[in-house]
Amino acid sequence: MTEPLRIALAGLGTVGAGVIRLIETNADLLTRRAGREIRITAVSARDRGKDRGVDLSPYAWEDDMTAMAARDDVDVVVELVGGSDGPALTLARRAVAQGKSFVTANKAMVAHHGLALAREAEAAGVAMKFEAAVAGGIPVIKGLREGAAANAIERVYGILNGTCNYILSTMEDTGADFADVLAEAQAMGYAEADPSFDIDGIDAGHKLSIMASIAFGTELDFANVGADGIRRILSADIAQADALGYVIRLLGMANVEPATDAADGDTVRLFQRVHPFLVPKDHPLAHVDGATNAVVAEGNFSGRLLFQGAGAGDGPTASAVVADIIDIARGEIGAPFSIPVSELNPTAPAQTGHRTGKAYLRFQVVDKPGVLAELAAAMRDAGVSIESLIQKGAGDGPVLVAMVTHEGEEACVDKAVELLSGSPSLVEAPLVMHILKQ
Ligand code: NAP
Ligand code: HSE
């Protein structure tokens, strides 16, 4: 029998404890699938005394997690701590420097340092794997790297943040307030240590940038993800969207566009956006509720592929982490981003103004004559055609006006918002959401 694959586990929170439970529960199955035993030898976290619901006594404890990279009884370092920099990054670098493969669920670190880490891992001939970093338990990285590897991917998009999807679908079902539902998502272990990463679209942006690199064979470019979150969405928006035949979902969307001039050379124009979209109720993504994630990839030969499953939580995330460990046990190293880093295409951000679509605009306006005419005039002057409009007064307070536009250029909607900027008729800045095309 081949020697066991010996694992060091840094981080014993939601995901780390889940990995221990999975490896203990499915030990025999993992040995058969991996062709060798997967054995945890060392663990580390901040607080040695904390009850984590798992027995840590069989494993060596390290107070300093970076010391695990140098242990002779460790073949693979698994980082489940989090944070783009700090100890997680130090540990990843040390592991590679020691000639050890590493596995991580840390999308923040991969989004910020993935290319540099991948270069180091490729040079050292070790694996760097991060299936759990994108869409929790869904094997979307494997799906793109392996199952869809024969295709040119034209577009990827989907629901990439379980916390936001849980919040939006629960607000939709119960009419509850944003803040109460966020607290529930935190209690269930879905949210990041700093939940603003979830609700401001940053976490989804991390995942989108990683997925885009693998889908399009381009250099990872988190800095140019346009990210918007769900903080400003009101129950009233959800109700208006419902009346118009839509649900609201935070989506990440990416595609590549032809270079705009010859000077671009190999540079690929990459569009990457995280934004709350109105999704038609008959689109598959409209039925994705709770902490579930779903990713659509459009291949030039496969057509539309839909990956769906639990996007967060201990069990699903542990499933993805251990799948990576099994690959390493089998000797499947491969380039971290599927194509060696030196061969990934450089990117420049795509222009967005020429993109076309319908938009939802919501205004909170003062209740006085002429306000509706002012909104309509701004739309006219910006070249935006209104398809439908709902106005809802609420007693003495501001009036909510929700509009859906006809298909048109995004630049025109931006222009309308600019024309209204600073108007004393508006109680707050307008909220703009794009409408997902079928
Ligand atoms: P978590 O529950 O907060 O656990 C983090 C663990 O790291 C804890 O055990 C903590 O120790 C330890 N830790 C934190 N800072 C440390 C430090 N400076 N030195 C040593 N140990 C430290 O986080 P999680 O939800 O398991 O997430 C872990 C990673 O997985 C993150 O990158 C996250 O983005 C990613 N992820 C999470 C999910 C999910 O559903 N939760 C899904 C996909 C990916 P103590 O326990 O002693 O405090
Ligand atoms: N906070 C993340 C989410 C965890 O809610 O999707 C899974 O990556």
Nearest alpha-carbon partner for 77 in 360, 203, 90, 227: 90
| Cβ–ligand 2 contact at 324 (below 6 Å) | no
| Cβ–ligand 1 contact at 336 (below 6 Å) | no
Question: Domains (ranges, CATH) in the chain?
Answer: 5-133 (3.40.50.720), 140-310 (3.30.360.10), 356-435 (3.30.70.260)
Gap between the Cα atoms of 388 and 394, Å rounded: 20
Burial of 84 (0-12, 13-18, 19+ CB in 10 A): middle
Residue 367 above 60 pLDDT?
yes
Q: Are strands 303-310 and 246-257 parallel, antiparallel or unpaired?
A: unpaired
The residue whose C-alpha atom lies closest to atom 45 belonging to ligand 1 is: 46
Name the strand (E) or helix (H) holding 205: helix 202-216
Gap between the Cα atoms of 6 and 69, Å rounded: 12
Distance 145 CA to ligand 2 centre (A): 22
Gap between the Cα atoms of 211 and 18, Å rounded: 24
Q: What is the pLDDT of residue 264?
A: 64
The two structure tokens encoding residue 38? 């997967």
pLDDT, average across residues 179-204 = 91
Instruction: Answer for the pair 223, 262: CB distance below 8 angstroms, yes or no.
Output: no
Instruction: Answer for the pair 331, 408: CB distance below 8 angstroms, yes or no.
Output: no
Instruction: Answer for the pair 345, 266: CB distance below 8 angstroms, yes or no.
Output: yes
**More confident position, 184 or 101:** 101
Instruction: Answer for the pair 114, 337: CB distance below 8 angstroms, yes or no.
Output: yes
Q: Ligand 2 pocket check: which of 161, 167, 210 to mutate, most ligand atoms within 8 Å of Cβ?
A: 161
Distance 46 CA to ligand 1 centre (A): 10
pLDDT band, residue 1 (cuts 50/70/90): low
| Cβ–ligand 2 contact at 198 (below 6 Å) | yes
| Cβ–ligand 1 contact at 47 (below 6 Å) | yes
Residue 66 above 60 pLDDT?
yes
* Residue 401 vs residues 76, 231, 236, 382, 406: alpha-carbon distances, Å: 56, 19, 10, 18, 16
Residue 233 above 90 pLDDT?
yes
| 3-state secondary structure (DSSP) of residue 32 | helix
Distance 106 CA to ligand 1 centre (A): 9
pLDDT, average across residues 51-55 = 96
Matching residue, tokens 């060798």:
36
Residue 186 dihedral angles phi and psi, to the nearest 5°: -65, -45
Fill in the DSSP letter of residue 245: T
Helix, strand, coil % over all residues of the chain, rounded to 5 = 40, 25, 35
| Cβ–ligand 1 contact at 11 (below 6 Å) | yes
**More confident position, 417 or 258:** 417
Distance 174 CA to ligand 2 centre (A): 22
Fill in the DSSP letter of residue 346: P
Gap between the Cα atoms of 77 and 19, Å rounded: 13
pLDDT band, residue 258 (cuts 50/70/90): confident
Quick one: which atom of ligand 2 is closest to the CA of 135?
Answer: 8
Gap between the Cα atoms of 48 and 31, Å rounded: 29
The two structure tokens encoding residue 49? 């005394």
Mean pLDDT for all residues in the chain: 95
Q: What is the pLDDT of residue 14?
A: 95
Residue positions counted in the chain: 438
pLDDT digits (tens, 9 = 90+) for 143-177: 999 999 999 999 999 999 999 999 999 999 998 87
pTM: 0.96
pLDDT, average across residues 50-56 = 97
Report the Cα 202 to chain-centroid distance in Å.
8
pLDDT band, residue 83 (cuts 50/70/90): very high
The two structure tokens encoding residue 122? 């490729």
% residues pLDDT > 90 (the chain): 87
The residue whose C-alpha atom lies closest to atom 7 belonging to ligand 2 is: 312
The two structure tokens encoding residue 240? 């208006």
Residue of 107, 207, 358, 392 with catalytic role: 207
Within 10 A of 284 (CB to CB), how many other CB atoms are there? Answer: 13
| Cβ–ligand 1 contact at 190 (below 6 Å) | yes
pLDDT, average across residues 252-274 = 83
**More confident position, 334 or 259:** 334
pLDDT digits (tens, 9 = 90+) for 316-345: 999 999 999 999 999 999 999 999 999 999
pLDDT, average across residues 28-49 = 98
Distance 140 CA to ligand 2 centre (A): 15
| Cβ–ligand 1 contact at 193 (below 6 Å) | yes
pLDDT band, residue 392 (cuts 50/70/90): confident
The residue whose C-alpha atom lies closest to atom 3 belonging to ligand 1 is: 13
pLDDT, average across residues 371-386 = 97
Instruction: Answer for the pair 221, 347: CB distance below 8 angstroms, yes or no.
Output: yes
Residue 285 dihedral angles phi and psi, to the nearest 5°: -70, -20
pLDDT band, residue 271 (cuts 50/70/90): very high
The residue whose C-alpha atom lies closest to atom 4 belonging to ligand 2 is: 312
Q: What is the pLDDT of residue 190?
A: 87
Distance 282 CA to ligand 2 centre (A): 26
For this structure, is 142 an active site residue? no
| Cβ–ligand 2 contact at 191 (below 6 Å) | yes
Phi-psi label, residue 126: left if phi above 0, alpha if psi -120 to 50, beta otherwise: beta
Ligand that comes closest to the CA of residue 17: 1
| Cβ–ligand 1 contact at 210 (below 6 Å) | no
Report the Cα 42 to chain-centroid distance in Å.
30
pLDDT band, residue 179 (cuts 50/70/90): confident
Residue 371 above 90 pLDDT?
yes
